[in-house]
Structure 1
Amino acid sequence: MMTVSNQPERTPSATASPAAGLTVELRPADKAALALYREDSAASCFMPAQSPEWVSAWARHSVHETLIVRLSDSEGHLMSLPLELAAQGRFRVARFIGDRHANGNFPLTDRRADDRIGSVQLRDLLDHIHDQRPDIDLLSLERQLHACDGVANPLLFWPHSESPNLSLAVDLEGGFDAALLRASGKRKRKQHRSQARKLEAAGGFERRMAKTPDEADAMLEAFFAMKAERFAQMGIQNVFAPAPVQAAFHTLFGEATASEHPKFVLHGLEVAGRLRAVTGSSLTDDRIICEFSSISDDELTEISPGRFLFFENIQEACEQGLKVYDFSVGDEYYKRLWCDLETVQFDSFVPLTVKGRAMALTRSAIAGGKRIVINDPRLWAMAKGVRKRLSALRR
């Protein structure tokens, strides 16, 4: 297993030019701001959760105030942060738009900004945010990548720490046969053939990609139902339950079907006319990222339709010439069956007020505790067991 921090060959330079001429704009994520954001994206690197499509979909449906913080200098755009503001008790927190659904984050950063943005600019950015929005106590920017397309994450200049959860992925270099060789391929092929026979006997199967808004809506509704049941069994809060979250995903994946080269895609495994497994993925130039997945809990569960669909998805990714199949954040057994790449992401908890300092310390301490529990198999098994028992008591 290869563990990486996603570091570029060089880290951000602290000797960037002085902040003279620096402009910081905090604008509501309205039509005009989103249009400028899309324009800036043409010369920038970013990850799917900071793409114009994602930001637009979430801004349209979020119950929270949404902002785009834009940093520029005399030469033009440097960096943009799409944020949502949420009240948490007596604190007001700014976080990546999409909150827990936004993973592998990387701010929209101009590819030519490496020698124009440094610690001086990032410190000045914080001062501007506080001056313009003194009601914001904390920037809580979690699950960030250290680099994107060889460009270092400018937010590394702010205080940060390792995220509790690893991101797991499959190296697709050499094609599908090579990927299988690194992951008990003979056994996987045999299991896949056996699953295909059983699924055929159960009424026939078809793997489909949503190609119209109606098909996307149907797959998402099936996914939301599957996930609700699964989370209830595990005693986990259903983060997909809120209506604005579901509406944002319907918009994001529905509108993507109109594109010749969609950046967000849904795949479903249908058996006997019913969806039994669904995955929702994002695409970059060289990778496909599984943003979410679920399976139905029914008479076919033991056949593992989810594993069958992942096999097909990974095989197709190889055929498309992609370099990585990314399972995203979270260390799960079904991911370990495939994965040979681990990526360490980082969190930034940056206080903007005195109140915010206390919250930053608390958030950092909680994240550190999670890292200890998650990285200890015995403690993690105990935690999941307690969570499940508590859920059973509440039902």
Structure 2
Amino acid sequence: MTMAAAIERRTAEAPARSKAGHIASIDVIDDLRRAEPIWRRLESRRQVSTPYQHFDLLSAWQRQVGEREQVRPFIVIAYDAEHTPLLLMPLALRCKYGVRIASFMGGKHTTFNMALWDREFAVHAGSADLDALVSKLRARFAADVLVLAQQPARWRDLANPFAALPHQPSVNDCPVLTMQPGAPPATLIASALRGRLKGKERKLQKLPGYRYRVADGDVEIEHLLDWFFRVKPQRMAEQKLPNVFAEPGVEDFIRDACMTAAAGGSRAVVIHALECDEEVIALFAGVADGDRFSMMFNTYTMSGHARYSPGLILMRHIVDHYAALGYRSLDLGVGADDYKRMFCKDSEPIFDSFVPLSARGRVAAASMSAAGRAKRLVKQNQTLLGVARRLRCALR
């Protein structure tokens, strides 16, 4: 092909490409079953999403928790001019103080929130695309404000396009462990820490039937969850923390998610455990996508075996497990707990966006944004955090 012909061809294709690949229309769906085919297509590894936004996990949350909280699905799908899905926002709509709030499904149980993106669109999406999305949502008059909280700035080396929206740092940071495939174990966990944990584990290895395992069968998953829901309330009461797992529908949601077989035969939530014949000693559970493991919930025994740091020992096994599988990162959830910093030396930026869609939503967005900044200020200041904790204990 001559240069002139090539230029002519590119010129002829330009109008079509300018329409395809940019947001031309949106759909707002309140039925999970209608959204499921597009949702599952966009959650494949060829596209971009976190495992917290996978259909199996969030449909269980909506069924068991969302419906009890009287929130309904508010699933936004954006299409190009050829009606190709470009992104899906798995949101839930609730009414609070007369304001219709659309926020990510999953509530307190998702560490990260993110839209599901067509990869090619996500790479090239710009402010004009986001302006079109927000403008079309405003025209629907279906919600007053978008609350897009705890979004990662990047996922699998791809920038989150929603970072182009007005945003602020989330209340908490997320400690993360970056793992280079094939890296020596000493580069993942400091030799001194690894040595201490192996010394403690030798005490546990004397217990009959001592083992580390990744739960697979339904019977063992049910057994581990029965133990977790007995022990976790005791641990939280000991720490003077509210038991979020006692809220309506949460236990059913966790059980459904752990029992659901996801793509490839894995579980929507993966359970790791230390056990002996006598008891479960520690349990950590989270989501995994072939590239990253992210913890959702954990606890450890109330017995005397707790003095050997079984939670930290289990964490060492989990790091080694995912390193052997070639994973590139691991996190233990948001917050600056000491045990997280023992393993996760870096901090991952996560952000919140409060996007008004109506006049009422502008007031709500400003209020929620200010509240978020105030909470972050308290979390970042040890003196203020101590006062807040003492006040919380006094109120309880």
Aligned pairs for 1:53-92 (under 5 A) are: 53-61=56-64, 62-63=66-67, 64-75=71-82, 76-92=84-100
| Corresponding position of 1:213 | 218
Q: Alignment partner of 1:256: what SS?
A: coil
> Contact 1:277–1:309 at 8 Å: present in 2 too?
yes
Partner of 1:10: none
User: 5+ residue gaps in structure 1?
Assistant: 1-15
Q: Which stretch of structure 1 is more off in the superposition, 82-91 or 35-44? A: 35-44
Which letter maps to 1:146?
Answer: A
Contact 2:123 2:158 in 1 (8 A): no
1:1-395 aligned at under 5 Å gives the runs: 22-42=24-44, 43-61=46-64, 62-63=66-67, 64-75=71-82, 76-114=84-122, 117-134=125-142, 136-173=143-180, 175=182, 177-178=184-185, 180-181=186-187, 183-185=189-191, 187-256=192-261, 259-262=264-267, 264-391=269-396
Of Structure 1 and Structure 2, the greater helix share is in: 2
- CA offset at residue 38 of structure 1? 0.9
CA distance, structure 1, for counterparts of residue 360 and residue 377 of structure 2:
27
Cα deviation for residue 204 of structure 1 reads: 4.6
CA RMSD in angstroms comes to 2.6
**C-alpha distance after superposition, 1:288-329 (max 9, x if no partner):** 111221123232222221111111111111222222222221
Label 1:235 to 1:138 Cα distance change in 2 as closer, same or farther (>3 A).
farther
Distance between the aligned counterparts of 1:258 and 1:48, measured in 2? 11
Give the secondary structure class of the aligned counterpart of 1:87: strand
Aligned-partner SS, 1:237 = coil
Equivalent AA in structure 2 for residue 153 of structure 1: N
SS at match of 2:343: coil
Q: Which has the larger radius of gyration?
A: 2
TM-aligned CA deviation for residue 115 of structure 1: 6.8
Q: CA deviation at 1:79?
A: 0.9
One-letter code of the match for 1:35?
P
- Mapped partners of 2:338, 2:124: distance in 1: 43
In structure 2, the CA distance between the partners of 1:125 and 1:92, relative to structure 1 (3 Å rule), is same
TM-score normalised to the size of structure 2?
Answer: 0.85
Q: Distance in 2 between matches of 1:214 and 1:132?
A: 47
The CA distance in 2 between the partners of 1:226 and 1:106, in whole Å, is: 32
Aligned-residue offset at 1:202: 5.0
The percent identity for this pair of structures is: 27
3-state SS, counterpart of residue 113 of structure 1: helix
* Residue aligned with 2:272, SS: strand
CA distance in 1, matches of 2:205, 2:229: 25
Deviates more, 1:36-45 or 1:18-27: 18-27
The one-letter amino acid paired with 2:58 is: V
Call closer, same or farther: CA 1:176–1:117 in 2, change over 3 Å: closer
Q: CA deviation at 1:30?
A: 2.6
Structure 2: which amino acid aligns with 1:156? A
Alpha-carbon deviation of 1:348? 0.8
Q: Which blocks of at least 5 consecutive residues in structure 2 are unaligned?
A: 1-16
Give the distance between the partners of 1:142 and 1:21, measured in 2 at CA.
23
Contact map agreement 1:143 1:163 (CA 8 A) in 2: yes
- When the two structures are aligned, how many residues end up with a matched partner? 373
SS of residue in 1 equivalent to 2:304: coil
- The residue type equivalent to 2:105 in the other structure is I
Does the C-alpha gap of structure 1 residues 367 and 241 become closer, same or farther in structure 2, counting only changes over 3 Å? Answer: same
**316-325 vs 254-263, greater mean Cα deviation:** 254-263
Q: Which moved more, 1:169-178 or 1:234-243?
A: 169-178
Alpha carbons of structure 1 residues 176 and 245: separation in structure 2 relative to 1, 3 Å: farther
Contact 2:180-2:328 within 8 A present in 1 as well:
yes
CA drift of 1:66 comes to 1.2
CA shift in 2, pair 1:133/1:253, >3 Å: farther
CA distance in 1, matches of 2:141, 2:158: 29
Three-state SS of the structure 1 residue aligned to 2:327 is coil
Quick one: structure 1 residues 182 and 210, their matched pair in 2 at CA, closer, same or farther if it must change by over 3 Å?
closer
Q: How big is each residue's C-alpha offset from its partner over 1:327-360, in whole Å with a ceiling of 9 and x where there is no partner?
A: 2211110011112221010001112222222221
Q: 1:206 to 1:243 in 2, by over 3 A?
A: farther
Which letter does structure 1 place at the counterpart of 2:175? L
Partners of 2:126 and 2:52 lie apart in 1 by 23
Comparing 76-85 with 268-277, greater Cα deviation is found at 268-277
Shift of residue 261, structure 1, vs aligned partner: 4.3
Question: 1:328 is paired with a residue of what secondary structure?
Answer: coil
Q: Distance in 1 between matches of 2:279 and 2:23?
A: 59
Q: Which residue type is aligned with residue 112 of structure 2?
A: G
